[in-house]
Chain A
Amino acid sequence: MSTTEKVGESVATYVDQRVGSNRFLGRSLKKVFPDHWSFMLGEIALYSFIIVLLTGVFLTLFYKPSMVEVVYDGSYVPLKGVMMSEAYASTLDISFDVRGGLLIRQMHHWAALLFIAAMSVHMFRVFFTGAFRKPREFNWVIGISLITLGLGAGFSGYSLPDDLLSGTGLQIARGIVQAIPIVGTWGAFLLFDGEFPGTEFISRLYGVHILLIPGLILALVTVHLMMVWTQKHTQFPGPGRTNDNVVGYPLMPIYMAKAGGFFFVVFGVTALIGGLVSINPIWIFGPYTPDQVGAGSQPDWYIGWLDGALRIFPNIETVLFGYTISWNIFIPSVIVPGIVFTVAALYPFLEAWVTGDKRDHNLLNRPRNAPTRTGIGVMAITFYFLLFIGGGNDIIAITFDLSINAIIWFLRIAVIVLPPIAFLVTRRICIGLQRRDREKMLHGYESGRILRLPHGEFIEVHEPLSLKERAVLESAIESYRAPLPAPEKVDANGVANKHYRRDMIRYKLSRWFYADDIVPPTRQEIEAGQAHVSHDAALEAPLHEYDEDETVMVPFHGGVLHTAGEPATNREQLEERGGNL
């Protein structure tokens, strides 16, 4: 044992005697995590959040959250002598007079964009694979909360430099608050300490941006990860993978090296982008003043869909008993996002109620094996992208020389019509894929090779599925569920069902959810089908008699060429390595 290890051991003992850490380490260092590229999405979100925290701390050392007007005297010549808020002046100083300041500012902004993007894609991965199902519903709700907080963090940070663009964003935010019925006017006056823009809002937002929201995100991320740890990660179907095990690599050393290394990769890439690609060049926009605006005002991408909703909503306003209700602002900016986030958070519970599925699910669904859910997801994405297009309608109109009125009218109609169409099309595609999977399970691959048998018959040789493909395709058996049975008004003992109406709704929804799914073949049918296919392949065997090549097809990993004598399974590989992990 080397000296370093001896010191390490005594430290471990010292700590263990005080907090009992060795018990935890013993269990945890061998903890298995399954592997899949899509599991990195959540990692990217976590790492970009850490980068945002680190770069953010650096920025707080130089940024002044104050709206006091000062005369700029920094090194950016075009703005010399211009009156501006201290917030804007200090952001200019970070960009021009602190060495590396612009790099850190741009890294902060890029990492923030990456944080929200990674969270969003991660959410869709979880949604489409059904990873939110029991027992992981709470973690889904936490995830939706994290995305909501991420939007708040992004918007509050975007507003801090107090440049012309961010101030316009705040003006819009104030207009939205003012449009909330009954409490809106007072709410706006309380938030802004009076009229717009006032002198307090930036410093208030600063507290929210650097303490309140990151604190909440940090707390929720911690719970999110602890739950992933306790519940163990879900896995995709594959050889050896069941609903009751985890197949993958141990934390020490594989995941420490891979996940730890990946943090540095994300950090490094963010730094490269931050050094190379300019973002939010606030010195071009100029200081904020409430009577000016730049053409083509665009929010950051994650606010785009909300801005789009605000842009395309018809101009409806009612005056009722002398009070104004601004539907044109209140609905797209408060009601729509409210519904979107609430429905998203409740989705796991809604689906569980409709399907009546109370099983634990640790094996992920393939999206095609849950056609209705996949359809709903694509419907949501379609809705989102139409609003997102709305958020850039002026840019689109200019770039493609289109009428902005035509774009808005298209979107007003499309946002209602296209999502249901996307749902139906997606669902049909999924069901088609299910049908093809069923064919493959029963009849193997079409090899494209025509064989003439001794008695003259021609057949097309079908090839058996590899082990991996069978494991993946046969996960349809686990995913499949028949619709709930129809409820009865009166049960066998003549007792009336009090919840008949509720049960009837549930029954109909369950049918809508499941009824069109393709019933997968049974295990016996698959075995028989694959045996038949192998028989076909055996007819070809005489053709291979003269093959001198040592290379044979071993059916795994999609049927790769495999040299005879090389280890072909975990066991053989381990034996080759001396049975030592």
Chain B
Amino acid sequence: MSDLTTRGGASAPDHGHGHGDVPADDLARPLYEGPGALPAADIPHRPRRSDFDPKAARRAERQVSALFLLSMLMVVLFVVAYVAIDPYADVYIPMFGVVGFQTFALGLTFGLGVFCIGAGAIQWAKKLMPDVEVVQERHSLASTSHEDVEAAEQYERGKEESGFAQYKIIRRTLIAALALFPIPLVVMLRDLWSPKNGSFGPSPVELLSTTAWVEDMPIVTDGTYVKIRPEDVPVGGLVSALPENIMEIQEAEHNLNARGKAAIILVRMEPDEIRAQQGDGWDYQGILAYSKICTHVGCPIALYEHRTHHLLCPCHQSTFDLADAGNVIFGPAARRMPQLRIGVNAEGYLVAKAPFAEPIGPSFWERG
């Protein structure tokens, strides 16, 4: 029975030890007594059915092994499902809708196979293994005063023998050397933005401040890349557009960077509905071109409410008034949407009349 009261190490809890700076009242006051401090043997225990009914115990035994058997069966079915089910067939499952038949079958068989092992083990523990609570004493984690002294002595000995205190110049140069040694690791991060053909090219500020738009650059639709005539843009409509040479740039640069900056939207309203623009006559017969990239954190915007002329960002709900120079009317964005000055060329197609007058997209430190 002694095994019951303390399993492993029967030493009494050591209140006074390892609490160097504890106020006296904390030590004087016992932490816990009363019913909480019952000897383990007297802890109430309610017997389970399987403890006194051999029939119940045998039933539990059958349940556990049945679960393990079911698990094996599921693994076999898993392999069957992997080999036999058409990977492209769908199946309707009530509540879950249409799902891939094979994915469903594999998940079901694998899931149940694994689940049954766990369920069996837990059932075994709960019904057949002893459920008598046992008690172990805790021991203070702090070192004994003897060990404290030993540690201090060994530290002192090491300090003496190395002469760390004595050789002042060694100590200082070592500290300085250790302080400098991470520098190469940081410096080498510079080429995370790597040079192309041996040159770093334009600075971040230049890159963030320029787009593919230049004077007389024809505007083409996004997706089909056809040039746009003014009459192609209906009043109240919104057209996503790009510069004509966007695919050439993409093929030359092998990335989508130019697209990410040059994307614009064209909207058309009755000329008398336009209350303000970012420059006089930047529209063409009521057609306005604005950047598509939100000035908050850069999501592309295409939610346009044509009656109010509001443009709403789907990411963080910044709202811009395109009839009023693209100014922010609500939400977290702090800057207006940059406007692109447009006109038509000799062939009657919409073109940019000038590059963007200000950087598009999210703010940055050097933007000013």
Interface of B toward A, CB cutoff 8 Å? 1, 3-4, 7-8, 13, 19, 21-23, 26, 31-47, 51-52, 82, 87-88, 93, 96-97, 99-100, 102-108, 110-122, 124-126, 129-138, 140-141, 189-190, 192-194, 204-205, 207-208, 222, 240, 242, 254-257, 259-261, 263, 292-293, 296-303, 314-318, 328, 330-335, 361-368
Contact = CB atoms under 8 A, between A and B. Distances in A.
A307 to B, nearest CB: 8
A53 to B, nearest CB: 16
Given A323-B368, A581-B130, A573 B47 contact: yes
B13 A576 contact: no
Contacts of B36: 237-242, 363, 471, 474-475
Interface residues of A, number: 152
A293 B365 contact: no
A197 B253 CA distance: 12
Given A175-B297, A570-B45, A470 B363 contact: no
B136 A32 contact: yes
A487 to B, nearest CB: 14
Contact of A195 (B190, B260, B330, B368): B260
Given A100-B103, A174-B362, A325-B365, 6 more contacts: A103-B103, A243-B32, A258-B126, A278-B99, A315-B318, A577-B130
Contacts of A186: 204
B47 A196 contact: no
Interface stretch (A214-222, A248-256, A414-422, A505-513): A248-256
Contacts of B299: 168, 171-172, 293, 297
Contacts of B97: 278
A199 B102 CA distance: 35
Contacts of A337: none
A304 B47 CA distance: 48
B122 A291 contact: no
Contacts of B208: 185, 195
Contacts of B119: 261, 264-265
A560 B328 contact: no
A313 B259 CA distance: 29
Interface stretch (A8-16, A176-184, A450-458): A176-184
Contact of B363 (A196, A329, A475): A329
Contacts of A198: 255, 257
Interface in A357-374: 357-360, 362-363
Contacts of B362: 174-175, 178-179, 326, 329
A497 interface: no
Contact of B334 (A239, A261, A328, A470): A328
Interface string A459-482: 000000001101100110110000
Given A249-B131, A471-B36, A408 B47 contact: no
Contacts of B42: 239-240, 569-571
B255 A268 contact: no
A275 B111 contact: yes
Contacts of A477: 32, 34
Given A275-B111, A314-B332, A250 B7 contact: yes
Contact of A178 (B46, B93, B363): B363
Given A268-B116, A295-B303, A262 B122 contact: yes
Contact of B134 (A247, A269, A296): A247
Given A185-B208, A245-B138, A568-B44, A168 B261 contact: no
A576 B193 contact: no
B107 A272 contact: yes
B368 A295 contact: no
A272 B112 contact: yes
B193 A172 contact: no
B52 to A, nearest CB: 7
Given A184-B364, A247-B133, A292-B300, A276 B104 contact: yes
A71 interface: no
A203 to B, nearest CB: 12
B256 A290 contact: yes
A326 B260 CA distance: 21
A193 B1 CA distance: 70
B4 A574 contact: yes
Given A102-B103, A328-B333, A471 B34 contact: yes
A145 interface: no
Given A253-B125, A576-B51, A191 B260 contact: no
User: 3 closest pairs, A vs B, by CB?
Assistant: A275-B107, A268-B115, A175-B297
A103 B118 contact: no
26 contacts: A99-B102, A185-B365, A190-B192, A197-B255, A239-B36, A239-B43, A240-B39, A242-B13, A262-B122, A266-B118, A276-B99, A291-B259, A293-B299, A310-B297, A311-B316, A315-B332, A324-B365, A326-B363, A328-B334, A329-B362, A468-B44, A474-B34, A557-B46, A574-B41, A576-B47, A581-B130
A31 to B, nearest CB: 7
B132 to A, nearest CB: 5
A239 B26 CA distance: 23
B300 A293 contact: yes
A30 to B, nearest CB: 5
B205 A185 contact: yes
A349 interface: no
A393 B255 contact: no
A358 B39 contact: no
A420 B204 CA distance: 44
A523 to B, nearest CB: 6
A242 B82 contact: no
A244 interface: yes
Nearest to B223: A292
A217 to B, nearest CB: 23
A297 B119 CA distance: 39
A319 interface: yes
A260 to B, nearest CB: 6
B134 A249 contact: yes
Contacts of B137: 244-246
Nearest to B38: A240
B234 to A, nearest CB: 21
A206 interface: no
B336 to A, nearest CB: 11
B110 A275 contact: yes
Interface in A31-54: 31-32, 35
Contacts of A289: 256, 259
Task: Among B131, B208, B332, find the residue whose CB has the most chain A CB atoms closer than 10 A.
Answer: B332
Given A265-B118, A408-B317, A562 B364 contact: no
A404 B317 contact: yes
B356 to A, nearest CB: 15
A99 B87 contact: yes
